[in-house]
Amino acid sequence: MEHYAGIDVSLESASLCVVDATGRIIREAKVASEPDVLIAWFRGLEFAVTRIGLQAGPLSQWLYASMREAGLTVELLATRHVRAAFKAMPVKTDRKDARGIAQLMRLGWFRPVRCKSLLAQEVRALLTARKLLQTKNHDVEMSLRGVLRGFGLKVGPTTPRTFATRIRELVAGHPTLSTAAEALLAARSTLFEQWQQLEKRLRSLAREDRRVRLLTTVPASARSSGLPMYRRLTIPVVSDPPRR
């Protein structure tokens, strides 16, 4: 008889449920959210599991890659589809979610999603870090403008290079404001420096990627035409090879 499993993952632990082809619960457990622990638990069963369902989430790609490499037939499930299937559930717990995922795997009511490659995840981490530094740098600048505006000191138009000089000109003669401004300017300087380092790294990666170089050749008029990008471009975008 075939068996199906569901895993509900949280930061510290994972709830597991195994059902048979009739939907009867065969085994349940709660283990640490670690690839080695999950792999050992499934290998310790006295029967093979036909499909294992794992809902996409912060830890899922890491767990999924390790379990796949170990030879387990795990599927990564779209979060919105799992949530839609569980809407009628009166009480949600990790244990019940694991049971629900196992039943979805048994019935085939799921849509698997592709797990990004390790390289793609690393590039995304760089982009996320760069965006965070850029945003915080902007927040510090706007906070400085807002603080000084309350004292009638208007910063006005500046460039990244002239911003600090303009702030120091305005707070000259105001010891308290100067102390606050220097602290924020020091934070801004560090944020800006680290942001530019990530920017340089990402630009270097972009120059090495044929697909990105092709996309940068799109005329500005096409990018601002208002049409969806997929209608404006005829360049095929190559993603990671499909999982087999």
CA 69 to the chain's CA centroid: 22
Residue 201 pLDDT:
95
Residue 238 pLDDT:
43
At residue 223, does pLDDT exceed 70? no
* CA 171 – CA 168 distance, rounded (Å): 5
Q: Residue 128 — pLDDT band, cuts 50, 70, 90? A: very high
Residue 114 pLDDT:
82
Q: In percent, how much of the chain has pLDDT > 70? A: 90
Give yes or no for a contact between 124 and 116, defined as CB atoms under 8 angstroms apart: yes
Residue 228 pLDDT:
52
Q: For the purposes of burial, counting CB atoms within 10 Å of the CB of 152, is it exposed (0-12), middle (13-18) or buried (19 or more)?
A: exposed
Q: How far is CA 215 from CA 149, 212, 223, 233, 241, in A?
A: 42, 5, 10, 9, 20
Q: Residue 233 — pLDDT band, cuts 50, 70, 90? A: very low
Q: Note the pLDDT tens digit of each residue in 62-119.
A: 999 999 999 999 999 988 888 888 887 777 888 999 999 999 999 988 888 888 888 8
At residue 47, does pLDDT exceed 90? yes
Mean pLDDT to the nearest integer, 56-65: 89
Instruction: Give the domain ranges of the chain.
Output: 3-107, 118-217
Q: For the purposes of burial, counting CB atoms within 10 Å of the CB of 133, is it exposed (0-12), middle (13-18) or buried (19 or more)?
A: buried
Residue 232 pLDDT:
45
* CA 55 – CA 72 distance, rounded (Å): 15
Whether pTM > 0.85 for this model: the answer is no
Pick the CATH number of 3-107 from 3.90.79.10, 1.10.1280.10, 3.30.420.140, 3.40.50.12280: 3.30.420.140
* CA 141 – CA 161 distance, rounded (Å): 12
Q: How far is CA 131 from CA 7, 77, 127, 191, 212, in A?
A: 32, 28, 6, 11, 19
**What 8-state DSSP symbol labels residue 78?**
P
Residue 226 pLDDT:
56
Q: If you average pLDDT over each of 52-66, 172-186, 204-218, which comes out highest?
A: 172-186
Residue 99 pLDDT:
93
